[in-house]
Amino acid sequence: MDWGTLQAVLGGVNKHSTSIGKIWLTVLFIFRIMILVVAAERVWGDEQQDFVCNTLQPGCRNVCYDHFFPISHIRLWALQLIFVSTPALLVAMHVAYTRHEKKRRFRNGEKIDIEELKNEKIHIRGPLWWTYTSSIFFRIVFEAIFMYVFYYMYDGYQMPRLVKCEAWPCPNTVDCFVSRPTEKTTFTIFMLAVSGICMMLNLAELCYLVIKICMKESRKTT
Amino acid sequence: MGEWSFLGDFLEKVHKHSTVVGKVWLTVLFIFRMLVLGTAAESSWGDEQSDFMCDTQQPGCENVCYDKAFPISHVRFWVLQIIFVSTPSLVYMGHAMHTVRMEEKRKMKEAELEAQEKKNGGDTYYQQKCSMAEKEAKLSGWDEAGGQIILRGSLLNTYVYSILIRTAMEVAFIVGQYVLYGIFLETLYICQRAPCPHPVNCYVSRPTEKNVFIVFMLAVAVLSLFLSLAELYHLGWKKAKERCSRSYKASPSTAPGRLESAPQADRAQMYTPPPDFNQCLSSPNGKFISPFSNKMASQQNTANFVTERVHSQEDAAGEGPFIKSSYVESPEVASECAAPAFPENYFNEKRRFSKASRASSKARSDDLSV
Cα angle B324, B326, B329; round to 5: 130
Which class does domain B4-48+72-115+152-187+207-246 fall in?
mainly alpha
Average pLDDT over residues B283-289: 47
Contact A186 B72 (CB under 8 A): yes
**pTM of this structure:** 0.71
Domain that residue A191 falls in: 19-46+72-159+180-221
Q: Report the alpha-carbon distance of residue B45 to residue A4 in Å, rounded.
A: 26
The confidence score (pLDDT) of residue B309 equals 57
Question: What's the alpha-carbon Rg for chain A, to the nearest Å?
Answer: 23
* Domain assignment present for A3: no
Interface test with B, best of A183, A185, A191 (most B CBs within 10 A): A183
> When comparing pLDDT for A188 and B268, which is higher?
A188
Strands (E), A15-139: 52-53
Task: Name which of B3, B49, B83 is nearest A50 (Cβ-Cβ).
Answer: B49
**The complex's ipTM?**
0.84
Q: Report the alpha-carbon distance of residue B175 to residue B184 in Å, rounded.
A: 14
pLDDT per residue as tens digits for the range A80-129: 999 999 888 888 888 888 888 888 887 777 665 666 555 556 777 788 88
Three-class SS of residue A16? coil
* Domain assignment present for A52: no
Instruction: Give the distance from residue B276's alpha carbon to the nearest chain A alpha carbon, in angstroms.
Output: 47
Q: Is the pLDDT of residue B192 over 50?
A: yes
Average pLDDT value for chain B: 72
Q: Report the alpha-carbon distance of residue B61 to residue A87 in Å, rounded.
A: 46
Q: Report the alpha-carbon distance of residue A181 to residue A52 in Å, rounded.
A: 13
Interface test with B, best of A10, A24, A34 (most B CBs within 10 A): A34
Average pLDDT over residues B254-282: 46
- Taking CA–CA distances from A55, the nearest residue in chain B reads B59
Contact A70, A153 (CB under 8 A): yes
* Domain assignment present for A5: no
Put simply, the chain A residues between 124 and 163 with a CB less than 8 A from any chain B CB are 161-162
Partners of residue A162 on adjacent β-strands: A177
* Domain assignment present for A64: no
Which chain B residues touch A32 with a CB distance below 8 Å?
Answer: none
Indicate the number of domains in chain A. 1
For strands B142-143 and B53-54, give the pairing. unpaired
Domain positions in chain B: 4-48+72-115+152-187+207-246
* Domain assignment present for A53: no
The confidence score (pLDDT) of residue A201 equals 94
- Taking CA–CA distances from B193, the nearest residue in chain A reads A161
Helix axes B5-16, B74-120, angle to 10 degrees: 50
Q: Report the alpha-carbon distance of residue B8 to residue B30 in Å, rounded.
A: 8
* Domain assignment present for A209: yes
Burial label for B36, CB within 10 Å (0-12, 13-18, 19+), is middle
A168, A169, A173, A175: CA torsion to nearest 10: -110
Task: Name which of B6, B66, B98 is nearest A30 (Cβ-Cβ).
Answer: B6
Contact A46 B80 (CB under 8 A): no
